[in-house]
Amino acid sequence: MQIDVLLIGQGLAGSLLAWELLKRQFRILVVDNGLENASQVAAGLVNPVTGQRLVKQADIEILLPAALAGYRQLAEQFQQNFYVQMPMLKILRTQQERELAMRRLSQPDYLAYLSEWLPMLEAVHAPFGVLQQQQTGYLKTEALLKNLRDFLIGNSCYRQADLQYGDISVRPDLQWQDVKPRHIVFCEGHRAVANPWFGGLPFQLAKGEILGCESRQDLPERILNYGHWLIPLEARRFKTGATFDTQHTDNLPSQSAQNALLASLRTVCPLQPSISVYQHRAGIRPATLDKQPFIGTHPRHQQLHIFNGFGAKGSLAIPFYAARFADYLQQQADLPPICDIRRYDETHFLA
Ligand SMILES: Cc1cc2nc3c(=O)[nH]c(=O)nc-3n(C[C@H](O)[C@H](O)[C@H](O)COP(=O)(O)OP(=O)(O)OC[C@H]3O[C@@H](n4cnc5c(N)ncnc54)[C@H](O)[C@@H]3O)c2cc1C
């Protein structure tokens, strides 16, 4: 079978890249092992201003409109909404955070993302105040991935298999099983560290855990951000997470993470009585040492590419980069230098 692009991995990266390539009339095949992946576990949060330092995400003015337009188009295609826009309440935890928040509110380039001080909320313990963040929300990653998988299956562009790298022939031409692609793009998430061509790139994997919980009380219709976060769902259910652990790379839920997330929640919602946990999941973020994606072509194998390294920001960053990378494969358009793996010298590339 002759095709243009074989994609390895149907997480958010492989799925959205496949979508962009199909829009450009590429003949593609996506291979995935069908196991639970980081994209399904993820909360899908999109948050332009993050961290204790309340710093605006680099390139947010480019990434956010691309993400919103991309998710709107997918909503039209599949006749359902995947992106939920919801303001976020940033619970300030120290006097320093409060002073920083006041400074940010006076900076014109932050005004689109930070709006106002809010009165104290009854159910939330916030002695240093609450700041409202806007242009925030979350992606329903599981629903989106399921729709895209069904779409790929319906268009004969999907094969369930656990690809073994040794089964890929690179010379004289690319081949895997009966498939003869012009290009292979690896989108394997954290498993890329075992990739014989790209595994030498400086990944910094980070395990994350998330709880699905049920409350006996009504919840604010806002995302709460207090270092960890809470996303209200329907019927008094909510998600809370996520841990960030660079020491472990298994995807097993742990009691210590559950305890830490519940303790953190109790500090801001002390009035929440007996929360019950109905779901506990773990996954591994494909984060990178320099916090930028790994996108581009192997220096010695022009048909082998990587589209990975989206760390904790997949929902925000992947739509923009998927479109750029599809343009790159179609018309040799330049990649944004910040994501291009050519920033690393040859010693980082194996095989
Ligand atoms: C707990 C947690 C919370 C998170 N919260 C957020 C958040 O709020 N907002 C946000 O933007 N991001 C969040 N993330 C990060 C987000 O999940 C990632 O940025 C994104 O999902 C990465 O997608 P991916 O496609 O690169 O990887 P993955 O989703 O891991 O997909 C890779 C796919 O490749 C497949 N694969 C790999 N190797 C092979 C092979 N050899 N053969 C066949 N198939 C293979 C895997 O099975 C998998 O399906 C979170 C992650 C975790 C773990």
Given this model, what pLDDT does residue 117 score? Answer: 67
Closest by alpha carbon to 16, among 84, 63, 85, 55?
A: 63
Ligand 1 atom closest to Cα of residue 313: 11
Count the domains in the chain: 2
In a domain, 47, yes or no: no
Q: Would strands 83-85 and 49-50 be described as parallel, antiparallel, or unpaired?
A: unpaired
Which of 270, 285, 300 marks a domain boundary? 285
Q: Is residue 70 domain-resident?
A: no
21 and 148 together in one domain: yes
288 in Cβ contact with 314 (< 8 Å): no
From 269, 227, 222, select the one nearest 126 (Cα to Cα).
269
pLDDT tens digit string along 41-68? 999 999 999 988 999 999 999 999 999 9
Instruction: Flag whether 74 is in a domain.
Output: no
* 203 φ/ψ angles, rounded to the nearest 5 degrees: -75, 155
CB 304 within 8 A of CB 297: yes
- State whether 303 and 279 are in the same domain: no
Q: Give domain status of residue 314, yes or no.
A: yes
Report the pLDDT value the prediction gives residue 262, as an integer from 0 to 100: 95
Mean pLDDT for the stretch of residues 120-145: 90
Element (H, E) at 209: strand 206-214
C-beta of residue 92 within 8 angstroms of C-beta of residue 128: yes
- Does residue 228 fall inside a structural domain? yes
Q: Report d(CA 341, CA 296) in Å as an integer.
A: 6
Q: What is the CATH number of the domain that holds 253?
A: 3.30.9.10
- Average model confidence (pLDDT) for the chain? 95
pLDDT band at 16 (very low <50, low <70, confident <90, very high): very high
Statement to judge: residues 298 and 193 lie in one domain: yes
pLDDT tens per residue, range 162-214 = 999 999 999 999 999 999 999 999 999 999 999 999 999 999 999 999 999 99
Domain boundary among 249, 270, 285: 285
247 and 268 both lie in a single domain: yes
Q: Return d(Cα 133, Cα 57) in angstroms, integer.
A: 13
Residues 263, 331 share a domain:
no
The encoded tokens of residue 112 equal 């689109």
CA of 144 to the centre of ligand 1 (A): 13
CA-nearest of 277, 275, 304, 305 to 293 is 305
**Cα–Cα distance, 173 to 186 (Å, whole number):** 17
Residue 240, domain member (yes or no): yes
The verdict on 150 and 214 lying in the same domain is no
Is 275 found in the same domain as 238?
yes
Site to substitute for ligand 1 among 6, 203, 310, 320, most atoms within 8 A of C-beta:
310
Rounded Cα gap, residues 4 and 349, in angstroms: 24
34/163 same-domain check: yes
- Of 32, 83, 291, the residue with max ligand 1 atoms within 8 A of its CB, to mutate for a pocket test, comes to 32
**CA 331 to centroid of ligand 1, rounded, Å:** 28
Q: CATH number, domain at 330?
A: 3.50.50.60
Q: Whose CA is nearest to atom 35 of ligand 1?
A: 9
25 within domain boundaries: yes
**Inter-residue contact 222 to 343 (CB < 8 Å):** no
Residue 308 located in a structural domain: yes
Given a cut of 80, whether residue 119 has pLDDT beyond it is no
* Same domain? 179 vs 220: no
Rounded mean pLDDT, 262-288? 90
> Does the structure show a pLDDT above 80 at 271?
no
The phi and psi torsions of 293 (rounded to 5 degrees) equal: -65, 160
Pocket of ligand 1 (CB under 6 A): 8-14, 31-33, 35, 37-39, 41-45, 162-163, 187-191, 208-210, 241-242, 283-286, 308, 310-316
If you take atom 25 of ligand 1, which residue's CA is the nearest one?
11
312, 181: one domain = yes
Same domain membership, residue 221 and residue 155:
no
Q: Check if the beta carbon of residue 147 is closer than 8 Å to that of residue 80.
A: yes
**Shared-domain flag, residues 231 and 197:** no
Q: Where a domain ends, among 250, 269, 285? A: 285
Average confidence (pLDDT) over 20-34: 98
Other CB atoms within a 10 A radius of the CB of residue 332 amount to 8
**Domain range enclosing 272:** 206-285
Mean pLDDT within 275-300:
97
